[in-house]
Structure 1
């Protein structure tokens, strides 16, 4: 039977085999340390769960607006105003089933077949596939490790062609744990406005910044760049609501209206119960988020301390997110380790020591491993004891 040609170009996760093996080890009763997770290990805060239960009791279990519950869009508009300096009305916002859906629907609303979307490398693996599934062509821009893999305005300008429609910009950035400064964003904004292209600003990790740093949304740098920007964010990371599937996008009204047309046919809208939980999450958060971020900061420092003691590891200073991107070229380049690639490192480490990591190939780069510190301090110490043992046998 016929299947779509899109399936031939849509690449499955490179880490699927590793994930399946880790699950098999766990099912067999082995102790597995997971440094690969892309979600907070906390249970969703009680007050949010209570908000969902109250929504059920109040009968909020029916269809609602395609763009999302109006009260949630009001709450998001207020959040964007107070926290990001962005002025949007509820009609400029669309709520989706996770930020991933908002990214995908946004691309479908922007792209015609053959349109190009610029994606800096390293990139979150789904970006390229989302572009292809929307009929677009991903254009990968190689970035400099010496610049913490951040794309410059000159690199962006050089990548733009007459077919360029958009730039995918992730800041704070998965997998590197860095973010673009206001000055860096301002330089990118000049190029974007001059070229008259879209920028999709994926800001899902905005809450996870450390050492007193502050992040800025590129849309906040002026009305011209705001008119070219689709801001995408969600509740999964900040509020430990990954399984609830709640995200949103804010942008110029014609784009949002176009996204509503598409979303109305694809998913209608996210669960109304989840949306009411989102209203509660924003309205009653208090110091919940700052407490979560403080906990992650403690874990970040613990993982960095263990990495500093491993001479084969060189890592990018994790200023944000909950990831550390580690250069293991010294291991791959030395025959005594008998490790051919980052994927090989991850596979051998999992097989021998039951430690899960994500190889750089998943993000389009070689010789790097992504570690997540979205786990307990005890797991961090145990995991690095195992990594030390793994390396010591090869030294």
Structure 2
């Protein structure tokens, strides 16, 4: 097979939009002309460690609430323009959550509800940014962020930060960027920052770190959009995510996002919310109503029911995600053991930082840099992505679109085997829904049947959580041990003959 590798743009010449395009082409398995050159992430037979879906079905209480609402015209009439009415029950619950996180009431009580956090980013940029405004973010930002900025005439700039600090924004990194760019006139003064907590790769900002950032933000007259969509996914033993808006002096500077897409697996009902300065939130509401009317009432009712569920559902998911992180670490250790036997001088693979929350981790594949394979020479994480798709039929997420230039890839582990979990929750869901229908028809509480691992009145047998997630773990192990490892050993060669030693960085477990 001849070399067909798409030549990625030189890192120094790549804009964030260029990076996003290169990564999307790699995951689709196409070249720049749209020709299929290797398998893509959606192709049959490919195991995807690149999808960002949920861990399993949402809490049955959310499904029950949705069905009951469908039957109750006073609550969810299809013949009424309910977008003209605010659903205060959800707004009050969201405000309560923000206040419990330490955000002052003068910010927490101003709520904008939208069709997902993507729309909230757009509303924020429409209302807070002007043509040409710069916004800063740390590496590992959400990959579509450059596209959203471009749609509203803003520009995203990635600030170099340290892997030793999980690529989080820090005051020294921001000060260095300002000194090298603003003070020298190379860049205009930024309008604001984008901050993710937890980060896309499981990093967590502490309250002390956010306090330092708050002083820098105030001193430089910046505004911030703080995305907390992965809040409530913190692993056992990790502290809850801290909120920038809870720091002194941030009430008028920070818009805080939240939702139930990642925590409660309700991504497809498209709902998210924000709190922040009153005037800005009111402008975001006007933008929302004028461009998409409203989030359907049914979606709001389901989201409220999910928030009212107890934490057992969230804790089970977080426990499973931590278990998968440890499984991946074991697989990487096995990789390195086999590599040492196969090629003793070959560097190993390692986690860039330990994830403490979320649904993905960052893996350094710098050991592959300089390796030659049928598609060419591996130079960065876009090449690594194409390599694993072609040689192992495994999709990984290239970190090039999130601002990283090396051979780092994201392993998205939470939704692996998602469809296999449906069977185990079906009885719980059906009984919960039937309970809801009975309650609606009789106008009284449904009869208790049996204890359940879910709360909120869902009377159903306990779902076998460990068995539910077992197939996903098996798929991760298959992807890493039976597919990716043989592909790695093939390009390494018993004497590292396929590897350009001069380009390799030190690795380790």
Structure-2-length-normalised TM-score: 0.70
The structure 2 residue matched to 1:123, chosen from 136, 141, 147, is 141
User: Post-superposition shift, 1:293?
Assistant: 1.2
The residue that corresponds to 1:100 in the other structure is 118
* Distance 1:252-1:85 versus aligned 2 partners, 3 A rule: same
* Distance 1:105-1:152 versus aligned 2 partners, 3 A rule: same
Measure the CA separation in 2 of the matches of 1:10 and 1:368. Answer: 18
Equivalent residue runs for 1:283-362 within 5 Å: 283-311=308-336, 312-315=348-351, 316-335=353-372, 338-362=377-401
User: Post-superposition shift, 1:14?
Assistant: 3.8
Measure the CA separation in 2 of the matches of 1:87 and 1:52. Answer: 32
Contact 1:331 1:339 in 2 (8 A): yes
User: Post-superposition shift, 1:105?
Assistant: 0.6
Paired residues in the alignment total: 381
Contact 1:67 1:260 in 2 (8 A): no
Equivalent residue runs for 1:272-287 within 5 Å: 272-287=297-312
Contact 2:50 2:412 in 1 (8 A): yes
User: Post-superposition shift, 1:48?
Assistant: 0.7
> Which consecutive residues of structure 2, in runs of 5 or more, have no partner in the other structure?
1-14, 30-38, 183-187, 337-347, 417-471, 493-509
The residue that corresponds to 1:392 in the other structure is 489
Contact 2:318 2:357 in 1 (8 A): no
Measure the CA separation in 2 of the matches of 1:119 and 1:364. Answer: 9
Contact 1:307 1:313 in 2 (8 A): yes
Q: Does 1:148 align with 2:166?
A: yes
Per-residue CA distance 1:278-313 (angstroms, 9 max, x = gap): 111112344211111112111121112112232331
Measure the CA separation in 2 of the matches of 1:158 and 1:356. Answer: 36
User: Post-superposition shift, 1:10?
Assistant: 5.9
**Over aligned residue pairs, what C-alpha RMSD do you find?**
2.3
| Larger-gyration structure (1/2) | 2
Measure the CA separation in 1 of the matches of 2:243 and 2:85. Answer: 22
The residue that corresponds to 1:185 in the other structure is 210
The residue that corresponds to 2:479 in the other structure is 383
Per-residue CA distance 1:154-209 (angstroms, 9 max, x = gap): 222444556422110111111x3212222211111101111221111111111122
* Distance 1:299-1:247 versus aligned 2 partners, 3 A rule: same
SS in 1 for 2:57: coil
Structure-1-length-normalised TM-score: 0.89
Measure the CA separation in 1 of the matches of 2:190 and 2:378. Answer: 39
Instruction: Name whichever of 66-75 and 280-289 sits farther off.
Output: 66-75
The structure 1 residue matched to 2:24, chosen from 16, 31, 42, is 16
* Distance 1:345-1:213 versus aligned 2 partners, 3 A rule: same
Q: Does 1:373 align with 2:405?
A: no
SS in 2 for 1:226: coil
User: Post-superposition shift, 1:74?
Assistant: 0.8
> Which consecutive residues of structure 1, in runs of 5 or more, have no partner in the other structure?
1-7
Q: Does 1:167 align with 2:204?
A: no
SS in 2 for 1:269: coil
Measure the CA separation in 2 of the matches of 1:36 and 1:290. Answer: 23
